[in-house]
Each structure stands twice: as structure tokens, then as C-alpha cells.
Structure 1
Amino acid sequence: MGTVQRGRPAAAIDVAFCFMVVGYELTGSALGDVRFGISPLNELVLSLRSWRDPGRYPLHLPWIRRTRPLHEQLDTEVLQALVSPRRWVPDFLTPQPDSPLTRFEDELPRLQRVPASTVRHDLRAAYQGDAGVPAVLRGRQAVQRVVRALEDYWRLCFAPDWPRMRAVLEADVTYRGRQIAQHGLSGMFADLSDRVRMKGDKVEVSSPSGSGWVRRADQGLTLVPTLWTSAACVPVSPAEPPTIIYLARGSATVWESAPPPAPEALAGVLGSHRAALLQRLAAPASSTELAVGLGVTPTAVNQHLRALRAAGLLVAVRHGRSVLYRRSELAEQLLTTARP
């Protein structure tokens, strides 16, 4: 591919983006072209804001505390410079993802092909003028240094935990797809965020103050779950690709590993792991979601799921590429009986 796709200025994700009201008109074919995307690079870059203000990301404090000693091995001068005092980051570092299957290895090379004029423009926007751009981000070799710094940051701090993070993001996409099938687009948007609603063929993202715009989403609308924001956000410019970034469902569980307590009577019959699985399945979930929540491998979870299904305690339903599991009536009866 050529240059990186320009998405929303990441600068506005927690600040400017959320202080406006914008609308996307989904007419004609666009009404059926609401898609989801996941961007590893986007998550990596947005996580840098936790360096500047970790108190804003209490859910990620276990990860922040564990990875902070690794910063000594990184190009911290560059990485810290990528976040402005307002916690904005340059637009070219947050590409709009093409699909939920986007890989970091595919995104990083795109940065090296971003035109110099685009880099300068986005740096000026993030730092409110040339004077505010840090010296380390100036010059022809700056982008190459940024790429190397991000690659090291990914390798040391992100890659070991990315499967866990991606599992939460993918589980959210699966859940949203199920909502669309069951309740339609309007129902899905209503549950996305309290700042998002669908009125007729228009999707609105609102905030306490500011003004906005309405544009036709002729090429469809991309929804991007993230672990590193607290509200639904959209591009500042109506010329940018239609995108809504929102907090992924289940973000609070991303660093949890302890299973919930299971009734002793049921655990004595099924074993603690299988009893915990039944407890988790109060709502339908995939094996990936369950593995993340219980802190075990998907292989181990699948073994228990097969045993529970063979015993008539689970019902499995395929949804797209995922298989969702729910408790059977027999399982509900067992749980009811086992509860004190």
C-alpha cells in the first residue's frame, strides 16, 4: 500500500473529539456498510498517554506498574515526545484500521511511507504550531527514529500481552455483531456509549459542549474498540474517514486472571475450573473471552467446554467466525440448586 490511511487526529480522543456533536448519515448502501476494525498500532500509540498521566488509566495500573522498569531499555525521549502536554498524539500515528484482523507487522511499515508534508502537518496540529514541536521529532530522520522506538516498545511491553488485549477487543466486536443481528443497528449504537445514538439514518456522537457537523458516510462507517479511552470519539474534521472509537466492552477484565468463586457443591462434582466456567457463562461468550477472564489458555478452556457440552450443560451456537457458549437449562438448574 501507499501512504498510511489518515484517520481521526488522535489528539482529540480524550480532549477535542469529545467536545462536539457530529453526525454521520448512513444512506443507501452505507446503511449496510458499518464495519469494525482493530489497530495494534493505534492501541500502542494511545497507551503512551498513560506514561504522562497514569492516574487517568486506573484499569491498566497493573500493566503500567509491571512494564515501567522496561522503559530504561527504550528510546523514552522519542516516545514521551509523541504525546503533547494536552495528551494529543500526531494523526499519522493512529491509522484507521482496515479490518479486525490488522497486524502490527502490517501497520508499522506504513509509517515509513508517510509523506513528509503529512508528518509536518500532523505534528503542527498536535502541538499547536511549529514552535511547540519537540526538537527530537524534527528533521528527515525523525520518522525512522519514531518507527524504531515504537518497534522496541511493542516488542518489550506490548507483544507479550497483546493476545490478551486483542482477545478483549475481538470479543467486543463479536458481541456488537451479535447485537446487530438481534436488535439492529439502532440497538447496537444505543449500547455502544451513552454519547452515541442513532436517529433514523443518522448516527450522532454528542458531548457536553462544542459544535459539530453532519456528513454523508458514503463509504461506510468504521467502529474501532479500544482499551485506552473513556468515551466515544470521532474525527475533528468532516473530511476524515467516518470513524467512531469507543471503549471496548470488558476492558475492566483485561488484567484479571482469578476465576470467580464457584459453589462448593458444584465444584466438588465438576471440578473448580468447570464450575467457574459455568459461573462465567451468565451471558453467552466465546472460548477466547472465557480464556481471558479465567487467565488460562484457549486450549485448556476448549477441553472443559467440550466436556461440559457433552454432559448437556452447555449449548454452542456459531456466530460468524466465533462459537458462542451458553448454559443449558440443566446447567441453570444445577446452579440454582448448588447456591446456598
Structure 2
Amino acid sequence: MESELSFSAADLAQTRFAVSPMWEVVTSYRTLRSEADPGPHRRWAAQVRPRLVEAGLDRGWLAALIPAEGFIADFLNPTPGSPFPTLDTELDAIARSTTPAQLGHDLDLLAAARPDGRLAPRLRVLREAPEAGLEKIVAEIRAYWELALAPYWARLRDLLEADIFHRARQVAEHGSAHVLNELHETVRWDSGGLRLVRRHCSLSRDETGAGLLLVPSAFTWPRVHTRSVPPEPPQLAYPARGIGTLWEPRATGAVDAVAAVLGKSRTLLLTELDTPASTTQLARHSGLSAAGVSQHLTALRDAGLVTAHRAGRSVLYARTAVADALLTAGAA
């Protein structure tokens, strides 16, 4: 199926980019639910899937709103008001700005996609008590974020921001039409229109507002996703550049220099945290005692070199961008 989004000069002028935490929530959750090979996200999925099941998030509100295939509830992806909104900003928009009409439309489409044509039990509750249901959905998204995305967000954000900066340079050098034509193999710019050749995607200027919002995403790979909710501008989430190397271990070139300042044990823990891990895991891998690891992590956290994230009954620690910069200085 091919759809076309027509463009006027005004639409081109209102085309912009944004990083959206909620697009990463939606597409990463679908990646975990899908039976398809997660491709470049295998390493991440292998770490996160067990946590998802342990926390019961594989069978909650998100499971009902984000099926493994087909339509995803549009209200989960409010239009970002700035290039780099926070998760809190987007969750506030979901809780406060989702209209009854939008919610009803999304629930009708989710019901139509089911074999029996009926809503899942949780979503029937959402239809009957939308305000209370939206609060529960927001709470579940926060829990999912903490175990699946927050420990990795520094790495993901770097990827997404780098994509936007690259596209911005391309716009300056070659114009918007050139950039639109290079977003994805299924997206083509032609004679004032953006053509999408993809059965699950549809865009039409008759059904959307002016302009276009382009959202780089790590987890939309290998597809593009769209959102059309008038009168808001259409959204097109596309795979960001560099996904193939996103989860590769990062080379370290300044370990000895960092160890001279922080000490060998704390530097060892930082190198181990190329993958987020719990205190128990770090103790097992490093050979340090659990008590010693805990003490070192507290010091590293106070220094802004690691962050802590609740994942079910465990706490995962992750390196910050500051720590990455320290360890990778001088790497080939």
C-alpha cells in the first residue's frame, strides 16, 4: 500500500525534528513483545526481557495498548512541544491532554484488531473510567522506563541527538527535500509529496495538521511508524543512524589514568558497567565483596559517574555520559 503526504511551502517550513522518550517506550516494548528477531537489539533484549516478565509488565496495560503487530494507541505519543522533551513532560501530556474523543477512537481501533472484535478487559475499564485508567498507565510506563530504558538512556540519547544534528547539517547543506528522501528506504520525496510504501503506515494531508514532525528512533528499526491525529502535525518515526553499533561494548582508552584518580576497584566497576548491572552481578564479575561494591557505587553515584534504577526487586546501576567520556578518552 502506498500513501502520500502532500507538502506546501508552509508545510516544509514547519517540518522539524524531536527526540521523544515515549516513542522509545512504545517501539522498544513492541520489540520485546515481537517474536521476530530483534536484530541489532539482541543484546539489550536478552537483558531486559527477564526483567519485564519478573515485574509482570509483559501482561499489563502496555500489553493491551501495544500489541505485537498492528495499531498502537496514538494517545501514547503526544506531539512533543520541544526538540528534546523529558519523559515527565510527555507523561503529563498523556494524563492531562488525552481527549475522550482520542481515547475512544484508539480503543475502537484496538478492539477492531482483535479476533473477537472486543476490547481487552483492562481497556474496557479504561473506557469506563478514563482518568483513573490513564493514571495507572502512566505509572506502568514509569515502571517500564526504569527497568528497560533508563539504565541505557545516556547511550540512546546520544544516538538520537547525533541523528538530529546530522540531519540538521544536511538540511543546511542540501535542503529539506534531500533529507526527507534519505530517511528510510520506504520513504520517498517526489514532486511536493512524501510517499510511504508500507502496508502498516498511512499518512494523508486530509487527516493531519500542517507541517511534519520527524522523530529518530532506535527501536522503530527496521520500519517507520506514523501518527496522524488532527489537528496536530503528522509524526514520522524513523530508524536513527548508527543503530547497528548501538549496543557494542565501548572501547576504553584511559583506564589506567582513571584508576590513578579513582582507584582500581572503582575503575573496574565502571568498566563492568558498559552493561547495566546489579550489586550482586558486579560483585560476581569483579571479585569484590557485595559490601565493597555497594560502598564504591555510592561514591561513584555521588560523583555523578553512575545512576541507579529500580528494576523489580533489584537496583540496576549504569554508567553516565560523564563516566563514558572519562573511560573512552584516548580510545582508538
TM-score normalised per structure 1: 0.65
Structure 2 partner of 1:73: 55
**d(CA) in 1 for partners of 2:43, 2:37:** 13
Q: Where in structure 2 are the equivalents of 1:214-233 lying within 5 Å?
A: 214-215=205-206, 219-229=210-220, 230-233=222-225
Q: Where in structure 2 are the equivalents of 1:293-312 lying within 5 Å?
A: 297-299=324-326, 304=330
Distance 1:156 1:217, change over 3 A: closer
**Which of 248, 251, 264 in structure 2 is aligned with 1:256?**
248
1:174 Cα shift?
A: 0.7
**d(CA) in 1 for partners of 2:200, 2:99:** 34
Structure 2 partner of 1:143: 134
User: Any conservation in 1 of the 2:20–2:85 contact (CA below 8 Å)?
Assistant: yes
1:20 aligned onto 2:10: no
**d(CA) in 2 for partners of 1:245, 1:188:** 14
Q: Where in structure 2 are the equivalents of 1:1-340 lying within 5 Å?
A: 19-27=1-9, 29-71=10-52, 72-78=54-60, 79-84=62-67, 86-113=69-96, 114-128=98-112, 131-139=117-125, 140=129, 141-207=132-198, 213-215=204-206, 219-229=210-220, 230-235=222-227, 241-259=233-251, 297-299=324-326, 304=330
User: Any conservation in 2 of the 1:84–1:127 contact (CA below 8 Å)?
Assistant: no
**d(CA) in 2 for partners of 1:238, 1:115:** 12
SS at match of 1:297: helix
SS at match of 1:21: strand
SS at match of 1:188: helix
1:97 Cα shift?
A: 2.1
Render the CA deviation track for 1:149-182: whole Å, top value 9, x for unaligned. Answer: 1111111221111111111111111111111122
Percent identity between the two aligned chains = 29
Render the CA deviation track for 1:256-279: whole Å, top value 9, x for unaligned. Answer: 12449xxxxxxxxxxxxxxxxxxx
TM-score normalised per structure 2: 0.66
SS at match of 2:2: coil
Structure 1 partner of 2:281: none
Render the CA deviation track for 1:199-224: whole Å, top value 9, x for unaligned. Answer: 34333333479987455987322111
1:102 Cα shift?
A: 0.9
SS at match of 1:132: coil
Render the CA deviation track for 1:59-95: whole Å, top value 9, x for unaligned. Answer: 1111111112222124432132222353432111122
Structure 1, unpaired ranges of 5+: 1-18, 261-291, 309-340
Distance 1:250 1:210, change over 3 A: closer
**d(CA) in 2 for partners of 1:67, 1:235:** 27
**d(CA) in 2 for partners of 1:296, 1:189:** 35
**d(CA) in 2 for partners of 1:117, 1:212:** 20
Instruction: Give the alignment's Cα RMSD to 1 decimal.
Output: 3.4
**d(CA) in 1 for partners of 2:80, 2:176:** 21
Structure 2 partner of 1:266: none
Structure 1 residue identity aligned to 2:109: A
Structure 2 partner of 1:271: none
User: Any conservation in 2 of the 1:20–1:206 contact (CA below 8 Å)?
Assistant: yes
User: Any conservation in 1 of the 2:73–2:106 contact (CA below 8 Å)?
Assistant: yes
User: Any conservation in 2 of the 1:22–1:213 contact (CA below 8 Å)?
Assistant: yes
Structure 1 residue identity aligned to 2:55: Q
Distance 1:217 1:210, change over 3 A: closer
Render the CA deviation track for 1:210-241: whole Å, top value 9, x for unaligned. Answer: 98745598732211111222233434677652
Distance 1:163 1:235, change over 3 A: same
Structure 1 residue identity aligned to 2:69: R
1:118 Cα shift?
A: 2.6
User: Any conservation in 1 of the 2:74–2:227 contact (CA below 8 Å)?
Assistant: no
Distance 1:251 1:238, change over 3 A: same
**d(CA) in 1 for partners of 2:162, 2:49:** 28
User: Any conservation in 2 of the 1:168–1:249 contact (CA below 8 Å)?
Assistant: yes
Structure 1 residue identity aligned to 2:17: F
